[in-house]
Structure 1
Amino acid sequence: MSDWLTAIEGTPAGEQAALWLALTAAFLHAVFGALQKGRHDPWLSRGAIDAALVVISMPVALFMVPWPEGRVWGILVGAMAIHFVYKLGMALAYSRGAFTVVYPVVRGTGPLFTVVGAWIIFGESFAPLQWLGVAVLLAGIFGLAIYNLIHVETGRDTLIPALWLAVGTGALVAIYTTYDAYGIRATPDPFTFLAWFFFLTALDFPIIAALRWRNMAHRPPLRPLLWRGLAGALVAWGSFGAVMLATRLGKVGEAAVLRETSPVFAAVIGWLILRETVGPRRIALMTLIAAGAVIVEVAG
């Protein structure tokens, strides 16, 4: 698999693969967000997911892929710090605001900063029509967040701090997307970076979650939480792994924009699973998001 991926880098086949990987990441990231937000405390959900990630990723990192060399170790340490702060932001935002309000804001602030970061670091540029697509996509994402904010029925007293946290966390999305793209491009075997990334960046939240669970007056049963963690870990491998491979095969900015179609999937998940309301206006806003992504891809 590694040989095939490196062989199609910089080719039309690689660009096509990057497109489908980014869209797959969008769907799976919405599933991942719903798993963290669901009926369990978001801190515990994230801890359970990370614990399962450690169990799944450790044997892969230690025995199935080449070990990192040289500066890759330093890149991985940087990724640990960035993703720890990102996960803190997500947990704090989810504990204060509704999933369908917080999630679009987090994802909406990410692509614009990522496109700028990709231009500065990788020399990528967008055509004017692609910038129009970004504007359309962001209008849909932030319109969806504003609509949800107006119509949310519970937790309104904590929504303002939740939104500020969501904006800050969205900036961290741009930072980690650009940084992870740099890391996976700097590693000869992309699966080396992926395996060690998932192993090392998941070591922190199981400790936080265990301490939180121990201090709870009413502790939730562990078995359902652990099953949710396993499901989330598998989804995380698919979601974060897919987008990082997409940034290696194609443009970082385009992959970031396509991944931000995830609020469309998130709204559907919120409606079907979390029982949050979806109406014609939200459907129209989700159509804007999809249209923006199509414009970016076609114009590119």
Structure 2
Amino acid sequence: MSDWLRAMEGTPEGQLWAYALALAAAVLHAVFGALQKGRHDPWLSRAAIDASYGLIAAPFALFVVPWPQPHMWPIFAGVFFIHVGYKLLQAMAYSRGAYTVVYPVVRGTAPLFAVLGAGVVFGEHFNAAQWLGVAVLVCGIYGLALYNLRTVTASRETLIAALGFAVATGAFVALYTTYDAYGIRAAEDPFTFLAWFFLIDGMFFPLFMWRRLSRLERAEVAGLMRRGMVGALVAYASFGGIMLATRLGSVGQAAVLRETSTVFSALIGWLMLGERSGPRRVFLMSMIALGAAIVQLAA
């Protein structure tokens, strides 16, 4: 599998696979967000998910894939600290504001910074038409956030702080997207990077939240860990998929495609949670999809 991936890098076929993986990551990221919207607070949910995917990754990292080369350990250290910052900011945003407002702001901020980061780090540069697509997508996502902001009634007293944390979280999403792409491209074997990524990334939050987890009733822990295990499997496919996409093709285009997750999260809310969309939200979601399509077609 690793040899096949390396053979696909930088080819037209590899770019098509990158599109498919990024789009799948968008759908799964929306599912991941819905899982975090449960009755447990975002701090505990994150700890359960991280513990689950760290435990699953451990035997693969230690006994299945080749061990990382020496130059990868400083890269993994950067991965650890960047993802810790992202998760702390995300939990602070989610605990202060409504999900339907915070999530689009996070996702709207990320692609703009990710495209800029890809230009600096990888020398990828969008043309004028692609930048138009980014603008349409970002306007659609922020428009959706503003529309939701008008209708939300819960936690309005902490909403300004939540929006600030959401913007900062979006910047960290762009940072980890660019940095993880650098890391998986630096690794000789991409699956070595993925296995060690999930092992290292799964360490902090369970330890950070251990005191609160230890106070829960046995039934609460069981429910939380069931959700964590499902979230871990989704995380493997979503985060693993987007990292493989950035190795096979353009980082900026993959980042833009992934942010169509906002559309899929709204569809999940409509189909599974009984949330109404209405014509304005449908129009804004259409803008997001149109922006992503422009970016891909104008390449």
Do the structures match in fold with TM over 0.5? yes
The equivalent of 2:41 in structure 1 is: 41
User: For residue 166 of structure 2, what is the aligned residue in structure 1?
Assistant: 166
| Aligned residue in 1 for 2:118 | 118
Q: Equivalents in 2 of 1:219, 1:209: separation in Å? A: 16
Structure 1 distance, partners of 2:165, 2:273, is 22
Deviations 1:153-177 (A, max 9, x none): 2121111111100000000011101
Instruction: Determine the structure 2 residue equivalent to 1:62.
Output: 62
The percent identity for this pair of structures is: 63
Deviation at 1:276, TM superposition (A): 4.0
Given the two structures, how large is their TM-score scaled by the length of structure 1?
0.96
Task: Give the drift of 1:214.
Answer: 3.7
AA aligned opposite 1:168 = A
Distance 1:194 1:70, change over 3 A: same
The question of 1:225 aligning with 2:224 is answered yes
2-side partners of 1:292 and 1:117: how far apart?
Answer: 19
2 CA distance for matches of 1:233 and 1:274? 22
Q: Residues of 1 paired with 2:224 and 2:151: CA distance?
A: 30
Is the 8 Å Cα contact of residues 213 and 221 (structure 2) preserved in structure 1? no
- The residue correspondences of 1:3-42 to structure 2 (distance < 5 A) are 3-42=3-42
Q: How does 1:267-282 map to 2 (within 5 A)?
A: 267-282=266-281
Cα distance, 1:209 vs structure 2: 2.6
Aligned partner of residue 221 in structure 1, secondary structure: helix
TM-score normalised to the size of structure 2?
A: 0.97
> CA–CA distance in 1 between the matches of 2:46 and 2:271?
22
Matched residue count: 299
Cα pair distance change 1:15/1:4, threshold 3 Å: same
Amino acid at match of 1:212: R
- How far apart are the structure 1 equivalents of 2:254 and 2:264? 17
**Which amino acid in the other structure matches residue 205 of structure 2?**
F
Distance in 2 (alpha carbons) for counterparts of 1:261 and 1:24:
10
Match of 2:292 in 1: 293
Q: AA paired with 1:223? A: A
Write the distance in 2 (CA, Å) between the matches of 1:20 and 1:245: 11
Distance 2:214 2:273 in 1: 27
Q: Give the aligned partner of residue 96 of structure 1.
A: 96
* Bigger mean CA offset, 116-125 vs 205-214: 205-214
- The CA deviation at 1:220 is 6.9
State the AA in 1 paired with 2:252. G
1:215 shift after superposition: 5.2
More displaced 10-residue stretch of structure 1: 126-135 or 276-285: 276-285
